[in-house]
Every structure is written in structure tokens, then in C-alpha cells.
Amino acid sequence: FVHAPATPTVARLPMSYATLELTQTIPCFPNATRGQPSPLKTSPDGSKLIYALNRTVVIRDIVPPAGAPIQAQLYTAHGYDVTAAAMSPSGCYMASGDKTGVVRVWACDNPDQILKLETAVMGGAILDIAWSPDNQRVAVVGDGREIFGKVFMWDSGNSVGEISGHAKKANSISFKSSRPYRIATGGEDFKVNFYEGPPFKYKAEAALHTNFVNCVRYSPNGNFFFSVSNDMKMKLFDGKDGALKQDIKIHLGSVYAAAWSPDSKQIVCCSADKSVKVFSCSDTGELAEVSKVDFGKTTEFMQVGCAWSSVGQLSYSLGGQLSILNDGKITATQFGHNRPISTICMCGTKLLSASFEDATGSTLGLFRSWDVATGLATPFAGPDGSQKGGHASMVVKMATDGNNIVSIGRDDSLLFTSPDGVYGNKVSLDAAPVDLACGGGVVCVVLVSKELMVVGGATVPLPIDPTCVAVAPDGGTIAVGGDDCAVHLFDGKGVTKGLKLERHRGAVSC
């Protein structure tokens, strides 16, 4: 910044424009709400994980491909929060539904994500979607108030059946994978209903649970389908006529989801009792427990979603952890964000990010350290491995200073963390922090109390409400932006005030 002469001379300098190219997207994690399932689905070959968060549909690798990071495809064309999504058996199209009852069918094998169909199915949220095995029909259920489900042609939207027989919203639907085609549904009226078609119509009430039915799924070979419920039970039915084969209690808490293995011989179930179980299913429909994995004792370990993938069983917790299980053991755990990211920064080759809150009701600031080579993250933690020692509220800003990661939070604190993500010293501040900056060994914070605090140095009163702060790379100059539309310069100790730069027409934001 320089002071312009009375009659300014405008010099046109040659400029070079860099072209930025998106090379990698690190996807959000699925939504999680206590007491409700978090739907997870996979691609037909089991290599991709499919879920939704807010208005975004995510299709992502489950594990990093050889020599490459996790790749993700995002679909953001919905105008309202997406509540269900499913990929066609061919792997070419996706059907996704939102909270207003609109279903969109779009090409997921084309980078342009061409829209094939948009249709309003019901007056409330779409809660589950299933494709017919010939890719021609889409079946949906949800909170329609009057109509709780519908079956329609994938390209025209023409109706080929209604899902009647439910008195409350229907939570889950599944299509039999072989002829004769059948459909099974489950809802909050405790019912499991059975339909024949096409055109599809109500045939019978296959069974009655004593609580909400959360998930129904046909086996890949079409021989059986199951239902799981908040009553902690699983019911197994004949796939052709809907006759009840088994009725067993499988967990000590609500069973939120379940999924078949590709060979139709096993079922994985996840529960609010913080465990995941795998059951074998014989050719005659006999169920037997094969393995059980207990995750922990606290609320964050409630398992609210599961799927069966090409790398093993997947289970998603209320605390936002995605676990991969094989042979009754946890073989990998992935971490991410399912709440808005408040701040990011680079620390060497690591990307650091922070968000606020999770579905357990915790208000802790959540830190993640991303390996950009794989697209996988590790969480920050205290020396004992717990979340103690971090910010107790939203993380406002994060920056790096040599070998330390420095952050400020709405808990009015300044936190130092080691590069390997272990919380260190935490300093209480006299007022709420507004912004943080580091450079050349200098760490400074501006506060709502109109103060500039240099860590290990002076605390300087400011004549304005500060909005942002920056430190020169050599630590020799501190710049403070304010609501007076100006930038105020100080020396690296924050003591000597220098220039006041006044060319902005509004409060300085960064």
C-alpha cells in the first residue's frame, strides 16, 4: 500500500494468471442423528460407498486405490437436503431423493452427471430407494403423509404401482433380484409389507414388529429377505411368498441397519448397543451368530449404519467413525467431518481441518490431520488418547508456527498441538478471540476486547474492533484489520505502531 499522489498516474502492469485445477476432493462423512439410522449403500461391485450429507450425494472409494488417494464424486444439484440415494444395478445411474419428496435420476458414469428424470413422488422426505434388477423401475418410500411409496419407470416417471398398506411413514424398501419380482417394505407402523407385480400392489402384511422397522433387504439371490427393528429383533422371510422363517432377538438395543453378503450366506447388523454382529443364513433359512464386535461403552460408539463391501463389512458410528471389519475384527477406522469445517491450514505435507459438534451432543472442537496422498485422516487427541485437552467449543482459527500447531476457540483459549496431533499447552484468554496469525516465531491473537496479544510478549490496546490479523513471514511486522476500514501495522513485538493503511470501503475481512 502507498499513498497516491494528488493526481494519480495509473500504470498498467503485465499480469500472469495461474490456472487452478481441481486435483482432489476429500469428501464429507455421512450424516448422523441420534435415534435414527444413517443409510449406507455400496455400488454393485462393492467398491464404492454411497451416502448423503445435506444437499450432497457422495460416491467415493472405500479405501485408497493403489498409489492414489481416495476419489470421490459429488452430486450437488438437489435444492433440498438429500435423504436417500441408490445406484442402479448397471452402475450407470443414481436415483436420489430429498426431504421434499423429489427424486432425481442422473448419470453417475458421466462427469456431466446428466439428469434423466426429475419427479415429485410424495409430499415428504424420501427415506429409501431401490432399483429393479433390470434397471427399469425405481421404488421409493418415505414420509408421504398420504402416500408412503411409489414404483415408477426410471426414464419416464410413469407409475407401475403404489406402496399402500402403511399407516405411518415407511422407512425401508427392497426389490427382489429375480423373477417373479417382489417388493418388501418396513415402516414406523411396525409393519413389514409384501407386494407383487408389476404393476405392484399390496399382497399381505408379512409380519408385525413391536417397534419401528428400520431396514428390510432382499438377499442377492432373491431366496430370502429380512427386517430389523428397534425391538432388537430380526425376522427372516421367504423371498417368493413372504412366509416368516425366523424371528430372533439379535441385539440389546435398536437394530438400525443390516446388509447381506454378496453370496447371500451372511448378514451384518449394527445396533445402538454399540456392537456389530454377523449371522450366517443357511439354504433353509436358519440363522446363527458368526461374530460380534464391541466398539466401546460411550454414546459415540452407537453403530447407526452398515453395509457389505468388497473390502469387508462397513459400520458407521454416531461419533462419525467409519470402521472396516473382517473376521470379527476391526481392520481399519476412518475419520472425517459431517459438520461444517470452520478452519483449515497446511502443516508440512499434512492438511489440517477442524469442525464443531457431533451427533452425540458433544460441543468439542474436532480436529483432523489429512494425508493428502491417501485422502485418509487421523484425529487429534490428548496424551492419553482421549479428546480431553482440546477446545471445549468451536475452533475459530488454526495456524502453524514451526513445529507447533496453534489454534483459538470459542472457549476463550489458545491451544498448542504437536505436529503428530497431540494436544499440548492450553492458555486461557481474557476475552473471546477473533483471529490468529503466526510467522517467524511470532504468535498473535486479536480479541473482542479490542486488544492485540502477542504470545510471550505484550498485550496492546487497539482503538478499533479488530476483525483479522496477519504476521509477516519474518515476524517483523504485525497487521491488524479493523471495522474502521483500515489496516494497522505494528512491529513484531506489537509495541510500536506504524502505518495506518486506509483504502478499503468496508471492514477488513482478511
Average model confidence (pLDDT) for the chain? Answer: 93
What span, in angstroms and rounded, lies between the C-alpha atoms of 473 and 441? 9
Q: What angle do CA 504, 509, 510 make, to 5 degrees?
A: 105
Q: How many helices and strands, by DSSP H and E, does the chain display?
A: 0, 44
What's the whole-number mean pLDDT along residues 358-368?
A: 88
What's the whole-number mean pLDDT along residues 194-217?
A: 95
Q: Where are the alpha helices (DSSP H) in 354-469?
A: none
Highest mean pLDDT pick, 16-25, 169-178, 354-363, 417-426: 169-178
Say whether pLDDT at 13 is over 90.
Answer: no
Say whether pLDDT at 150 is over 70.
Answer: yes
Q: Which residues of 344-363 are buried (b: 16+ CB within 10 A; e: fewer)?
A: ebebeebbbbbbbbbbbebe
Residue 16's pLDDT band (boundaries 50, 70, 90)? Answer: low
Say whether pLDDT at 345 is over 50.
Answer: yes
Quick: pLDDT tens for 319-340: 999 999 999 999 999 999 999 9
Q: What local confidence, expressed as pLDDT, does residue 423 receive?
A: 95
> How many Cβ atoms sit within 10 Å of the Cβ of residue 483?
12
**Domains 41-335 and 341-501 equal at CATH topology level:** yes
Could you tell me what percent of the chain has a pLDDT over 70? 96
Cell digits for 458? 505484550
Quick: pLDDT tens for 427-437: 999 999 999 99
Say whether pLDDT at 4 is over 50.
Answer: no
| Strand order across the beta sheet in which 93-98 lies | 82-87, 93-98, 102-107, 115-120
What span, in angstroms and rounded, lies between the C-alpha atoms of 115 and 106? 4
What span, in angstroms and rounded, lies between the C-alpha atoms of 195 and 388? 52
What is the dotted CATH code of the domain comprising 341-501? Answer: 2.130.10.10
What span, in angstroms and rounded, lies between the C-alpha atoms of 333 and 326? 12
Q: Tell me how far CA of residue 336 lies from CA of 134, 135, 351, 368, 385, in angstroms.
A: 35, 33, 12, 7, 17
* Backbone CA torsion sign across 142, 143, 148, 153: negative
Cell digits for 86? 441408490
What's the whole-number mean pLDDT along residues 478-502?
A: 87
Asked if residues 87 and 49 have their Cβ atoms less than 8 Å apart, the reply is no
What is the dotted CATH code of the domain comprising 41-335? Answer: 2.130.10.10
Residue 207's pLDDT band (boundaries 50, 70, 90)? Answer: confident
Asked if residues 227 and 186 have their Cβ atoms less than 8 Å apart, the reply is yes
| Strand order across the beta sheet in which 451-454 lies | 433-439, 442-447, 451-454, 459-461
Sequence ranges of the domains in the chain: 41-335, 341-501
What's the whole-number mean pLDDT along residues 267-277?
A: 99
Say whether pLDDT at 363 is over 90.
Answer: no
**Better-predicted residue by pLDDT, 32 or 493:** 32
Q: Tell me how far CA of residue 120 lies from CA of 97, 123, 124, 185, 293, in angstroms.
A: 9, 8, 10, 20, 41
Asked if residues 77 and 112 have their Cβ atoms less than 8 Å apart, the reply is no
What's the whole-number mean pLDDT along residues 36-44?
A: 97
Quick: pLDDT tens for 50-80: 999 999 999 999 999 988 999 999 999 999 9
Q: What local confidence, expressed as pLDDT, does residue 17 receive?
A: 61
Between the two ends of the chain, the Cα-to-Cα distance in Å is: 15
Quick: pLDDT tens for 386-424: 888 899 999 999 999 877 899 999 999 999 999 999 999
> How many Cβ atoms sit within 10 Å of the Cβ of residue 284?
7
Pairing of the two strands 93-98 and 442-447? unpaired
